[in-house]
Amino acid sequence: MDVALALGLSLTAALLLAVLVTWQARLDADTLAAFAWLYTWGALIATFGTLGMHGILETMLETLIPGDVPIWEGLSATVLAPFVEEAAKGLALVTLCLAVGYRYESFADGVLHGALVGLGFETTENFFYMMGALADAGLAGLLPMAFARLSFGFTHALFTAFTGVAVAGWCMYHAGGWGWLLLPLGWLMGVLAHAAHNFTAMTTGCCCVFGADGLAVMVFVGVWRWAQDLERNWLRKYLWEEVERGVISVEHYRAVLTSKRRRHWLGMARDEEHRAEMRRFFHKMKALALAKAHAARDPRNASLQKRVAQLRREVARLARRVGSFADNALH
C-alpha cells in the first residue's frame, strides 16, 4: 500500500505537467507517439543509464583523488550529476532527430520535447527518493519527502527544456555554422541551472533554492517567449501569402493565429468528423508556414520545396472540406 502511495505521488506532478505540455502542443497531434517515447526515455533509459554512468565516473575520479575526501558528496551533486543527467536526457532529443528522423520545425517544439524528457526523469527520480524515505522512516518520512519533491516537480523539465531549444536549433540549422554552436550552449545552460539548484539545495535554505530556480525560470520564460514570438511571426508572414494565393481565406488565417479562435470554431463543428478535419487543417496550416520559413532560409533545398508544395496541396484540400467557419455556425 505504501509503495503504491509513493508511486502515485511520484507520478502526480510529472503527469499533470506532461498533460499540460501535450495540451500546449495541441496543433501537433501527430507527434503524440514521439511525446510518449520521450517521456519513457526520461523515465527509464535516462534514469537507469545515469545511475550506471554516474557510478563509473565516480570510480574513475576516486582513483585520481584517493582517500576519504569530504568534498566528494558536493562534487557528485553539483558537477557529476548535472553533466551526466543532462547528457542522458539530451540524448533522447538528438536520437529523435537523427535515428527516428523527427523533423523539428520550430524552437518551441524543442522546448516541449525537452520538458517531456525531464518530466519522465522526474517521475522515476521522485519514486526513488520517496521509496528511500519510506524505507528509512515509514509513512512519517514519505509525506515530507513527497512534499519536498513535488514542490520542485518542474525542475528537470526546466533544465532539459534549455537542451531542447538547442537540439531543435541544431536539427533545423546544422547545415549552417551557428547550429553547431547552439547545441553545446543550450545544453550548458541546462547543466548550469541544474548545478545551481543542487548547490543551493545542499548548502543553503529553501529560499535560496527557490531563488536559483526562479532565476532559471526567468531565463526560460524569456527563451520560451522568444520561440513563441518567432513561430507566431512565421505564421503571420507565410500564411498571409497563402491568403493572397487564394489557398486559404482570411477567416482561416485569423483562426489559426490564436487558440481562442481555434477553440471557438472547433466548438461550432457540425460533428466529430468535421471537428477532426478542422484540427488537421489547423495543424497542416502551421506545418506549411514553418516549412516555408525553412525553405526561405535554404531556397536550393529541393526536399524542402517539395514539402512546401505537398503541404500547400493538403491545406487547399482541407480548406475546401472545412469550408467557411461562418457557414459552419449555421448548422
Q: For residues 23 and 166, state if they share a domain.
A: yes
Q: Is 211 exposed, middle or buried (0-12, 13-18, 19+ CB in 10 A)?
A: middle
Q: Would you say the C-alpha torsion 260, 265, 268, 269 has a positive or negative sign?
A: negative
Does residue 221 sit within a domain? Answer: no
pLDDT, residue 35, reads: 80
Q: For residues 171 and 310, state if they share a domain.
A: no
pLDDT, residue 330, reads: 40
Q: For residues 152 and 251, state if they share a domain.
A: no
- Reported in sequence order, the residue ranges of the chain that DSSP labels E, i.e. its strands, are none
Does residue 216 sit within a domain? Answer: no
Q: Which residue has the cell 482570411?
A: 250
Distance of CA 310 to the CA centre of its chain: 27
Does residue 208 sit within a domain? Answer: no
Does residue 315 sit within a domain? Answer: yes
Does residue 270 sit within a domain? Answer: yes
Considering 154, 186, 203, which residue would you say is the last residue of a domain? 203
Q: For residues 315 and 197, state if they share a domain.
A: no
Does residue 227 sit within a domain? Answer: no
Q: For residues 38 and 176, state if they share a domain.
A: yes
Category of 301 on φ-ψ map: left (φ > 0), alpha (ψ -120 to 50) or beta: beta
CA distances from 194 to 77, 103, 111, 234, 288 (A): 10, 28, 16, 32, 36
Three-state secondary-structure class, residue 138: coil
Q: For residues 102 and 173, state if they share a domain.
A: yes
What's this model's pTM, rounded to 2 decimal places?
0.79
Q: For residues 186 and 250, state if they share a domain.
A: no
Q: Measured between alpha carbons, how far is 70 from 73 in angstroms, rounded to an integer?
A: 7
Distance of CA 157 to the CA centre of its chain: 7
Does residue 213 sit within a domain? Answer: no
Q: 24 φ, ψ to 5°?
A: -60, -30
Q: For residues 80 and 197, state if they share a domain.
A: yes
List, run by run, the mean pLDDT of 10-residue segments along the chain (331 residues): 59 64 53 81 90 76 62 69 91 84 80 88 81 70 65 78 89 68 87 85 68 77 85 93 93 87 81 84 90 86 90 93 61 44
Does residue 58 sit within a domain? Answer: yes
- Please provide the distance, in angstroms rounded to a whole number, between the alpha carbons at the two ends of the chain: 52
Provide the residue range defining the domain that includes 304: 232-328
Considering 203, 223, 241, which residue would you say is the last residue of a domain? 203
If one counts the domains in the chain, the total is 2
Quote the radius of gyration of the chain (alpha carbons, Å): 23
